[in-house]
Structure 1
Amino acid sequence: MTTEAAPVRLPWIDEPRFQCFGCSPRNRIGLALEMHRTDDGGLATEITFSDEYASYPGVVHGGIVSVLVDELMGDLIALDRGMLAFSVTLRTKFLRPLRTGVPYRAVAAITGEGNGVVHAAADVVSLDGTPHVMSSSAYQPISSDQAEGHMGLVGADRDRLAHYFDHAIG
């Protein structure tokens, strides 16, 4: 699977309150992921983790790896479905540890939808194609009430972003 040269521009990247740990370039401790579309419509990113994201020496913390796959799947859903969603399940199988200082590629795809959720999957592989992580998740669309109550979006902020909320999934 190849990626296109131009990175995907996330539509919410210029939002003043946007500080996402996974993809915001303004979060000084975050991953600042740069994503690309795959030939089959998925979303991919290449990443090399620094020692700042380690658990054991030289090994990337599993929680950080979970952030990587959750971010990629969630952003794909947001881009393809035009909605923001919370992950309600996240299942991650760690086949091999990820090492700091080693480049990896993560790829996400939407795998289905129904019963109020969108399902996605993501894999993390080394550049030679060796699988390291397999993940799947279900995402529930965020309602306007949740945007206000959980995210503190009110007034003009909520109105400006209203098109991302209150989507129904069959």
Structure 2
Amino acid sequence: MSAPADPAAVRVPWSVIPDYHCFGCSPHNASGLRLTFTPHGDGLQARFRLDRSFESYPGIVHGGLTGVICDEVMGNLIVLARHAPAFTVSQRTRFLTPLLIDREYRCVAELSGSGSENLIHASAEIRDADDAVCAASAATYRPFALDAVRHQLSLRDDEVALLDQALTTANALSPNGVPS
């Protein structure tokens, strides 16, 4: 997996934890996607190119990763726009064409609808180099307070405090997802 370096990349709040291992966005996870994010229109995007280690059929990216990438971009949009992490409640992905190994793609996510305090709706599309839509995904997320799920997280107290501070001060995107 390789992602082009981008000086406009948004720093995700998780990066305050020196050794975070998110499969989607951590630069520390050698087996992960190592996605980086940039503001895009009314939301967030990630450009990516997957190598054969993410292959299903010969030359084809494993379909499950399509949903993972969409979920990762939508989830980080929520974190950056709403200053709160959120668990995925449901996700539906439509596959229009297979993603090919060693090709450039971008996933663009936006918040959909107004949502509520309890649920946030987002959508994402994966587009190829010609801007054709290869996959579309819609998901619902439930925001959570770090303290409320502390028993489920494998973070030390000092790391929870760092992350809580980073979430509070993140200002990359406005609450509706539009770059500020």
Partner of 1:168: none
Q: Distance in 2 between matches of 1:88 and 1:107?
A: 20
Matched AA of 2:153: M
The equivalent position to 2:149 in structure 1, one of 142, 147, 150, is: 147
Matched AA of 1:133: A
In the alignment, does 2:67 pair up with 1:93? no
Q: Work out whether residues 5 and 36 of structure 1, in 8 Å CA contact, stay in contact via their aligned partners in 2.
A: no
Deviates more, 1:86-95 or 1:144-153: 144-153
Q: Distance in 2 between matches of 1:132 and 1:120?
A: 18
Matched AA of 1:60: V
Deviation, structure 1 residue 17:
4.3
Residues 45/155 of structure 1: CA separation in 2 closer, same or farther (3 Å cut): closer
Q: Distance in 2 between matches of 1:11 and 1:94?
A: 30
Partner of 1:47: 48
Structure 1: gaps of 5 or more residues = 166-170
Deviation, structure 1 residue 37:
0.5
In the alignment, does 2:43 pair up with 1:25? no
Residues 124/115 of structure 1: CA separation in 2 closer, same or farther (3 Å cut): same
Residues 32/160 of structure 1: CA separation in 2 closer, same or farther (3 Å cut): same
Q: Distance in 2 between matches of 1:106 and 1:144?
A: 27
Deviation, structure 1 residue 34:
1.5
What TM-score do the two structures reach when normalised by structure 2?
Answer: 0.82
Choose between structure 1 and 2 for higher RCO, CA contacts under 8 A separated by at least 6 residues: 2
Deviation, structure 1 residue 5:
5.4
Secondary structure of 1:91's match?
A: strand
Q: Distance in 2 between matches of 1:159 and 1:36?
A: 26
Partner of 1:76: 77
Q: Distance in 2 between matches of 1:101 and 1:154?
A: 38
What TM-score do the two structures reach when normalised by structure 1?
Answer: 0.86
Deviation, structure 1 residue 107:
0.2
In the alignment, does 2:9 pair up with 1:14? no
- Flag the structure with higher strand content: 1
Encode CA deviations 1:27-55: one digit per residue, 9 max, x unaligned.
111111111111x2310111111010011
Identity %: 37
Q: Distance in 2 between matches of 1:46 and 1:143?
A: 29
Q: Work out whether residues 61 and 101 of structure 2, in 8 Å CA contact, stay in contact via their aligned partners in 1.
A: yes
Deviation, structure 1 residue 142:
2.0
Q: Work out whether residues 148 and 154 of structure 1, in 8 Å CA contact, stay in contact via their aligned partners in 2.
A: no
Q: Distance in 1 between matches of 2:45 and 2:154?
A: 30
Q: Work out whether residues 92 and 133 of structure 1, in 8 Å CA contact, stay in contact via their aligned partners in 2.
A: yes
Deviation, structure 1 residue 156:
2.6
Q: Work out whether residues 147 and 153 of structure 1, in 8 Å CA contact, stay in contact via their aligned partners in 2.
A: no
Q: Distance in 2 between matches of 1:70 and 1:20?
A: 12
Residues 75/48 of structure 1: CA separation in 2 closer, same or farther (3 Å cut): same
